[in-house]
Structure 1
Amino acid sequence: MKQRIVIGALLVECNHFGGIPTDLNSFKRTQYITGQDVLEIADGTLGGYYDVLSPRAGDIEVIPTIAATACPGGPVTTLAYSAIKQQILTGISEAISEGPVAGVLLALHGAAAVDGIPDLEGDLLESVRDLIGADVALVATLDLHAYMTEQMVSNSDVLVAWDTYPHRDAFETGQRGATALLDIVDGNLIPCMAMGITPVLVGAINGTTEGEGPFADTMRLAKRIEKRDDVYMTSAFLVHPYLDAPNMGGGGLVITNDDPDLACELATEITEYYWSRRHDLEPELIGVESAIERSLAHDGSVVLVETSDCCGGGAAGDSVQLLPHLTALPADIHSVIPVVDAHVAAECHKHSVGDEIMIEIGFRHDPDWGDPVPVCGTIIQLNDGVFTYRGGIWDRCEGHMGSSAVIKVGGVHVCVATHPTYEWCGEQYDAFEIDVSQMKIIVAKNPMNYGMAFSDYSDLMMVLDTRGPTPATCRHLPFQRITRPAFPWQDDFDEHNKVLTNC
């Protein structure tokens, strides 16, 4: 008899301080695939699952449920979560009704939230565990920015996270997750998992896993430990800090084969090292006016990083904090800035290319962070906002900005989209037919991928000290539910590390 494995995906990152609520349409714009069509996905985490499971088609049956992913945003609506959760649970229930299920394999993010539920993944994993019982293997793959909780750890056999930021290893992480599941099913692994957490809440500016840096060094430590003969798998986490939830923090996860004490010891080692690098994780910032002055004095293009409005962190993408500073410059100083504003995009599409338009733009979807800015400019492009990702977790997938336009205001190219989309490698500007090499100032709103996207055009990149739901530093966010003491508000407190285990 074949071993039967149920798979599914619910992958989105959420923000409690802003952004647009993540509804079913948010998923359908990105990925919402059900039934047997899920088995046709060849890339990303699910592609990695199949790469491991398919060669064993003679003794493994894969049962799909749903693959639902969305651009980060505000909390998932209750309706959307209920619909997707029900698809997963119904798929598992139907599989169980037809015969024994050996395991469940889920592609999750780890930092999703629902209205009233700060830990979506914990809720889902507990529901799955209640359904399948204690003896069926349950493995989930995660983003390394996951909010790790006791509910997640205690209800899973194995949790494994991406090892790269910028995220390049979704497929490989899928392979690792599927391999772990098969090792459990085949009786080769009795997983003892320990997750060390220390209350460090920082943005992602210094969170790369490439080259030198505090999180890169933490990841390298975790991977050195993984090479030990008595260690099965490790992960390192830099928690997505834009959730307002208790017991948040980053650290290290270690899985051993039936050795809980060693798992706890090594998870603590990784987490203590991460804590020791906390000051290095806080970024150096520059004010907007100073950044503009430095840009004008610099010989060449400059990238201004407004990470406080990062769609990839759940922001709406509608900030126009920089726009008045850019429009005040002479018209021969060319710049480009992205703005999500569905109303302005719709109004532009009532006109034609070449028409002039006077309109207020920005802060329409998330008005808590500022006021719209009046502009008068010329519409120089109208398009459908469709583009294709070149790499990353959505490699070769289409992105959908919705009806989009470019308004030229003096020397400023304002790229207006209807919907927020994740910034990876400059695909949105390409879709707007913007030649960034001709821009003096390029505005980026992602805290990490801007280097990869624009390093060929600029050798000066400055991270701005601006306000919004995804700022470069968390010091000024209005947290209400986080557990304190926590860095960066407090420092040098004794009890700064705890360990969660499933064994």
Structure 2
Amino acid sequence: MTSAQHPAIAIAGLAIESSTFSPARTTTAAFHPKRGAEVMEKYAFLAPGMPLRESATWLPALTGKAIPGGIVTREAFEQLSQEIVTSVRDMLPLDGLYFDIHGAMSVEGIDDAEAVLLRLIRDAIGPDVVVSASLDLHGNVSRELVELVDLITCYRTAPHEDEDETRERAVRNLVEQLSADGAKPIKAWIPLPILLPGEKTSTRLEPAAGLYELVAEVESRSGIIDAAVWVGYAWADEPRSGAAVVVTGDDRAAVTVGAQELATAFWEARDRFPFVAPTDSFANALDTAFASRELPFFVSDSGDNPTAGGAGDVTWGLTELLRRPELAAPDAPQVIYASVPAPTIVAEAVRAGVGAMITATGGADVDARHAGPLTVSGLVHSIRHGDRDALTEVVLQIGSVFAVFTELRKPYHYEHDFTRLGLSPRKMHVVIVKIGYLEPELFDMADGWVLALTPGGVDQDIERLGHRRITRPMFPLDPTMATPDLTARIVPSLDGGERRK
């Protein structure tokens, strides 16, 4: 150890969910790379004066987090990876590395991108450095990734309300491991051939709620450091895609039993995971919404959800909405639709200004498989510049529909996302968002909700996607498959578990 009191710990990682079923591509800028002091600002638990901050010498390299999207370009991955590798090599000697990732990054021409990145880092820092990783529970966890890390954990809530808590747990586990005079942890990994969309594994509902309660119970046992269950990421067509369990600790029997208990519980519940909301076709969802007296009524246009990896610019949902006969009535219901990236419509609205009537065409620049560019005529209701993700947002009032168009993709998860645009979602009859499960603020706001099974790169009906490269058999694509091998695989550390020097 560099110092008995202050081990040297680097921080690095790239995080994104990448749908291989989307035609979109993710470039370097989408990760908003942070370096040096900017990295530290991300972690409140590492603020000056906090106990974890004082427990080590922290050496931030580069971290990047992108909105879920399409496959990462090879150029972007190689550029960012090389910078990380160069940076951590310059930091040597190191005692530890905190690897902050998502776990579902797909890269052009590369399978298992996070393991490839960590292998590059390991080649620079060596096998003895203790690595602790935190992931989203929608990650796909391969044996190679488990071999390359020493500690690994993931979120326990979906929607994700424990991101900071999970990162802090990963860092605390790392610091405590470095202070212990012993071998690296024992890791029990069990891959599960289950591939469910995230909207079927919300921890608001059973059986996911009970499964993640069991995770905490297993972790509390003697001899166990951490327990984690990944439901996987269904929209990546890679051999590693699927669910997984990893339990780490210093007691081989305890981690083995804990991992097998979690894997068995997940497998036995595999056909009991419901969608997080009532589901229907988009047409039927709109029928229900317009007839409802529960206001506001939310509809999830889920197939092009940008926070799951959709291109975001599919115009199919808005096209279908604007055809509805209810909107031609004098007392037409007021509707928000958020959103469609359409730079040409945004530019025309900005040129004309608030209050102007415009006709413009846009959308479907990336994903035109389900509907082409949309021509709309409407009143420019509002314009907002400077959004971190969207850059510029405009609202067009098209009859009783307030349609949000953006320069770049942006998810609409919070009430202020709407109120900043001069919209009052609580006063609307219907709010349609490109999202799967409603994030907490919208969930609390909604008096009614239907999850519409719409087309796009993150189609909730995964059987329509046409997976070709995943490992088969896979539930539910192979519903009558036999029970898989649920015995724990003890994955050795790179140094063979020898005592640290």
What is the aligned partner in structure 1 of residue 53 from structure 2?
A: 54
Q: Is the CA contact 1:423–1:449 (under 8 Å) kept in the aligned structure 2?
A: no
Post-superposition offset of 1:415: 0.3
- Cα distance between partner residues in 2 of 1:18 and 1:49: 42
Post-superposition offset of 1:173: 1.5
Post-superposition offset of 1:124: 1.1
1:93 aligns with 2:89: yes
Q: Is the CA contact 2:344–2:361 (under 8 Å) kept in the aligned structure 1?
A: no
1:344 aligns with 2:345: yes
Q: Deviations over 1:75-134 (max 9, x none)?
A: 1122221222122211221112xxx31111111111111111132111011122222222
Give 3-state SS (helix, strand or coil) of 1:275's partner.
helix
- Cα distance between partner residues in 2 of 1:140 and 1:38: 16
CA shift in 2, pair 1:170/1:147, >3 Å: same
Post-superposition offset of 1:19: 5.5
Q: For residues 389-400 of structure 1, what are the structure 2 equivalents within 5 Å?
A: 399-400=388-389
1:233 aligns with 2:221: no
- Cα distance between partner residues in 1 of 2:46 and 2:306: 25
What is the aligned partner in structure 2 of residue 308 from structure 1?
A: 303
1:453 aligns with 2:441: yes
Q: Is the CA contact 1:157–1:502 (under 8 Å) kept in the aligned structure 2?
A: no
Q: Is the CA contact 1:342–1:417 (under 8 Å) kept in the aligned structure 2?
A: yes
Q: Is the CA contact 2:112–2:240 (under 8 Å) kept in the aligned structure 1?
A: no
What is the aligned partner in structure 2 of residue 139 from structure 1?
A: 132
- Cα distance between partner residues in 2 of 1:63 and 1:251: 31
CA shift in 2, pair 1:68/1:458, >3 Å: closer
Range with greater deviation from structure 2 (102-111 or 178-187): 178-187
CA shift in 2, pair 1:50/1:362, >3 Å: farther
Q: 2:67 aligned to 56, 64, 71, which one?
A: 71
Give 3-state SS (helix, strand or coil) of 2:173's partner.
helix
Post-superposition offset of 1:449: 2.9
Give 3-state SS (helix, strand or coil) of 1:472's partner.
coil
Q: Is the CA contact 2:39–2:60 (under 8 Å) kept in the aligned structure 1?
A: yes
- Cα distance between partner residues in 2 of 1:184 and 1:62: 16
What is the aligned partner in structure 2 of residue 394 from structure 1?
A: none
1:215 aligns with 2:204: no
Give 3-state SS (helix, strand or coil) of 2:71's partner.
coil
Q: Deviations over 1:353-386 (max 9, x none)?
A: 1222223343222112322333221111111152
What is the aligned partner in structure 1 of residue 368 from structure 2?
A: 367
Post-superposition offset of 1:51: 4.5
Give 3-state SS (helix, strand or coil) of 2:314's partner.
coil
Post-superposition offset of 1:258: 4.3
Q: Deviations over 1:52-74 (max 9, x none)?
A: 53122xxx321111121111111
Post-superposition offset of 1:497: 4.3
1:18 aligns with 2:22: yes
Give 3-state SS (helix, strand or coil) of 1:400's partner.
coil
1:265 aligns with 2:257: yes
1:405 aligns with 2:394: yes
Aligned structure 1 segments of 4 or more residues deviating by more than 6 angstroms: none
Give 3-state SS (helix, strand or coil) of 1:416's partner.
strand
Give 3-state SS (helix, strand or coil) of 1:233's partner.
strand
CA shift in 2, pair 1:215/1:95, >3 Å: same
CA shift in 2, pair 1:295/1:224, >3 Å: same
Which amino acid in 2 is paired with 1:337? Y
Post-superposition offset of 1:38: 2.5
What is the aligned partner in structure 1 of residue 77 from structure 2?
A: 81
What is the aligned partner in structure 1 of residue 495 from structure 2?
A: none
Which amino acid in 2 is paired with 1:200? I
Q: Is the CA contact 1:377–1:407 (under 8 Å) kept in the aligned structure 2?
A: yes
Q: Deviations over 1:433-452 (max 9, x none)?
A: 210112111112222234x2
Q: 1:465 aligned to 450, 453, 475, which one?
A: 453
Q: 2:8 aligned to 4, 7, 10, which one?
A: 4
Give 3-state SS (helix, strand or coil) of 1:367's partner.
coil
Q: 1:294 aligned to 288, 298, 303, which one?
A: 288
CA shift in 2, pair 1:426/1:244, >3 Å: farther
- Cα distance between partner residues in 2 of 1:127 and 1:48: 29
Q: Is the CA contact 1:161–1:173 (under 8 Å) kept in the aligned structure 2?
A: yes
Unaligned residue ranges in structure 1 (runs of 5+): 387-398
- Cα distance between partner residues in 1 of 2:343 and 2:49: 38
CA shift in 2, pair 1:246/1:49, >3 Å: farther
1:330 aligns with 2:327: yes
CA shift in 2, pair 1:114/1:224, >3 Å: same
CA shift in 2, pair 1:272/1:176, >3 Å: same
CA shift in 2, pair 1:291/1:180, >3 Å: same
Post-superposition offset of 1:295: 1.7
Give 3-state SS (helix, strand or coil) of 2:352's partner.
coil
- Cα distance between partner residues in 1 of 2:358 and 2:319: 17
Range with greater deviation from structure 2 (47-56 or 316-325): 47-56
- Cα distance between partner residues in 2 of 1:425 and 1:149: 34
What is the aligned partner in structure 2 of residue 285 from structure 1?
A: 279
Give 3-state SS (helix, strand or coil) of 1:381's partner.
strand
Q: Deviations over 1:326-355 (max 9, x none)?
A: 323235311011212222222222211122
Give 3-state SS (helix, strand or coil) of 1:116's partner.
coil
- Cα distance between partner residues in 1 of 2:316 and 2:47: 41
Post-superposition offset of 1:50: 9.0
RMSD: 2.2
Q: For residues 479-498 of structure 1, what are the structure 2 equivalents within 5 Å?
A: 479-497=467-485
Unaligned residue ranges in structure 2 (runs of 5+): 493-501
Post-superposition offset of 1:263: 2.1
1:357 aligns with 2:358: yes
Count of aligned positions: 477
CA shift in 2, pair 1:83/1:351, >3 Å: same
TM-score using structure 1 length: 0.89
CA shift in 2, pair 1:405/1:23, >3 Å: same
What is the aligned partner in structure 1 of residue 107 from structure 2?
A: 114
CA shift in 2, pair 1:381/1:227, >3 Å: same
What is the aligned partner in structure 2 of residue 153 from structure 1?
A: 146
Q: Is the CA contact 1:246–1:481 (under 8 Å) kept in the aligned structure 2?
A: yes
Which amino acid in 2 is paired with 1:413? F
- Cα distance between partner residues in 1 of 2:159 and 2:254: 30
Q: Is the CA contact 1:154–1:501 (under 8 Å) kept in the aligned structure 2?
A: no
- Cα distance between partner residues in 2 of 1:473 and 1:111: 19
- Cα distance between partner residues in 1 of 2:157 and 2:49: 21
Post-superposition offset of 1:206: 2.9
Post-superposition offset of 1:272: 2.0
Q: Is the CA contact 1:8–1:107 (under 8 Å) kept in the aligned structure 2?
A: yes
CA shift in 2, pair 1:431/1:20, >3 Å: farther
